[in-house]
Amino acid sequence: MEFMAQANKKFGVRSLLVQGLTFLSVLTSAFMIWKGLSLFTNSESPVVVVLSGSMEPAYYRGDILFLHNGYSPIEIGEVVVYKVKEKPIPIVHRVLKVHNDNTSGKQFLLTKGDNNNEADDRGIYNPGQKWISRDDIIGRVRGFVPYAGMGTIWMNDYPQLKMILLGTLCVLSLFTNE
Amino acid sequence: MNNFLQRLSGITSFAMSTLMVLVVLISLTTPFLPSNPTHAVQLHNVQTTTGRMMDPYDKTSRTAEYARLTFDVDADLSSMFNWNTKLLFTYITVDYQSSNGFNRVVVWDRIVRGKRQAKLKLRKHHNKYLLRNFAQTFEGVEGANLTLIVNPVPYLGVMYDKTMSSIPFSIPRALKAGGKK
């Protein structure tokens, strides 16, 4: 016990721990908000950044999209974010065709990017796959904010930026202590 | 408040809060801006034939029934352009009931980028996208409707659709070679 009191006096261990705790609680609150939002929207990723130019001129690279999935069937004309099975990249396109099957309760959907003239998405589905289903949809676009995601695009295109940013944050946190 | 970093942090947090309030206000108020579009769709003709050049993604395209529509559109959408409208995505859908359930497909679309292009005057246009049933034929297809819809894409905010005109029609079966259906 005495050695701990001495360590606290010398290095301020307790204040360091308190700082660490505050940092951790901020992190976990952010995580909780994100996961809570995912549950509320039934979407694994309720906020996405547009990565490709296939929906121009409506959405450009770097726009942030707010998604809401819910449980209702997809309707035509909605802009949806989906993932082709076994491909990890989410794609933002508009729904071109909707066929409902009452016996199985399934939907057969075909999508197309606004900027892809006359070419629907069958070229990017898996080979032999003509339709995507309701389960492939991560969410429908409800609203968006332009340019707000440019930071993510820059970080992906220039990984050195990530390093520089992390380094700057560490340096700053060292210097802003009383 | 005499430390540079403290000032920067204060300015940044104030700017962020103001921006967020603005984003919410803009998103909430844009759909209620008044607009007065005129719209009219007329369907001249529906022709159903069988088979299409081999579609690389759809092996059944050679024997499926395809319907070709000829239609007119008269619409003045320029009043839908407000300060927060980036473009108007106008499209025409065909929806019908088949033996399996409800179906709806987009047969034509156009991106209207400004007020000058917003006066649509289409005469005897055909569908841009091939119209065929999920099954091979149009057997059991009934209650078809041709609908014109506009999706105003804002610069910032909420996405929504506005249905314009809708007219019912029926899709005929393809005539076989001997003139029998």
> Looking at residue B179, what is its pLDDT?
37
**Shortest Cα distance, chain B CAs vs residue A12, angstroms:** 24
Report yes or no: A151 at the B interface, CB cutoff 8 Å. no
- A residues 96..115 contacting B (CB < 8 A): 96-103, 108, 114
Which of B23, B106, B151 shows the shortest C-beta gap to A96? B106
Closest chain A CA to residue B96: A99
The Cα–Cα gap between A18 and A7 comes to: 15
Which of the following is catalytic: A43, A45, A54, A136? A54
Residue B152: CB atoms within 10 A of its CB come to 25
| Residue B94: CA count within 13 A, CB half-sphere | 24
Which of the following is catalytic: A43, A45, A63, A93? A93
Contacts of B98 in chain A (CB under 8 A): 99
Closest chain A CA to residue B112: A57
The Cα–Cα gap between B100 and A102 comes to: 6
Task: Confirm whether A68 is a catalytic residue.
Answer: no
> Looking at residue B11, what is its pLDDT?
92
Segments of B34-178 assigned E as strands: 38-50, 65-76, 85-97, 102-112, 119-126, 131-132, 142-154, 157-158, 162-169
Mean pLDDT of A24-52: 89
Mutate: best of A47, A55, A94, A99, partner B, most B CBs <10 A: A99
Exposure b/e, B85-98, CB count within 10 A at least 16 = b: bbbbbbbbbbbbeb
Give this prediction's pTM.
Answer: 0.82
- B residues 14..53 contacting A (CB < 8 A): 23, 27
* Two structure tokens written together for B49: 């034939």
The predicted complex's ipTM stands at 0.83
* Two structure tokens written together for B106: 């987009």
Task: Look at residue B92 and give its three-state secondary structure.
Answer: strand
Task: Tell me which of 3.90.180.10, 3.40.50.2300, 3.40.630.10, 2.10.109.10 is the CATH number of domain A47-147.
Answer: 2.10.109.10
> Looking at residue B22, what is its pLDDT?
92
**Shortest Cα distance, chain A CAs vs residue B179, angstroms:** 30
Predicted confidence (pLDDT) at residue A52 exceeds the cutoff of 90: no
Q: What radius of gyration do chain A's Cα atoms show? A: 23
- Asked whether the beta carbons of residue B101 and residue A130 sit closer than 8 angstroms, the reply is no
- Asked whether the beta carbons of residue B100 and residue A123 sit closer than 8 angstroms, the reply is no
Mean pLDDT of A103-109: 88
* Two structure tokens written together for A31: 């995580």
- On whether the CB atoms of residues B66 and B50 are closer than 8 A, the answer is yes
The Cα–Cα gap between B125 and B47 comes to: 13
Task: Confirm whether A99 is a catalytic residue.
Answer: no
Which residues, in sequence order, are CB contacts of A40 under 8 Å at separation 6+? A46
The Cα–Cα gap between B49 and B172 comes to: 10
Query: For chain A, how many residues are written?
Result: 178
The Cα–Cα gap between B104 and B113 comes to: 26
- Asked whether the beta carbons of residue A98 and residue B103 sit closer than 8 angstroms, the reply is yes
Mean pLDDT of A33-60: 88
For chain A, the domains span 2-42+162-175, 47-147
| Residue B45: CA count within 13 A, CB half-sphere | 8
> Looking at residue B54, what is its pLDDT?
65
Provide block-wise average pLDDT over 10 residues at a time, chain B (181 residues): 82 93 91 85 82 72 83 88 91 90 91 88 87 84 88 90 85 59 40
* Two structure tokens written together for A48: 């996405």
Q: Tell me the percentage of chain A whose pLDDT exceeds 90.
A: 21
Give which of A80, A60, A70, A66 is closest to A34, Cα–Cα.
A66
Residue A74: CB atoms within 10 A of its CB come to 21
Exposure b/e, B122-136, CB count within 10 A at least 16 = b: eeebebebebbbbbe
> Looking at residue B181, what is its pLDDT?
40
> Looking at residue A5, what is its pLDDT?
74
Task: Confirm whether A114 is a catalytic residue.
Answer: no
Closest chain A CA to residue B162: A77
> Looking at residue B21, what is its pLDDT?
94
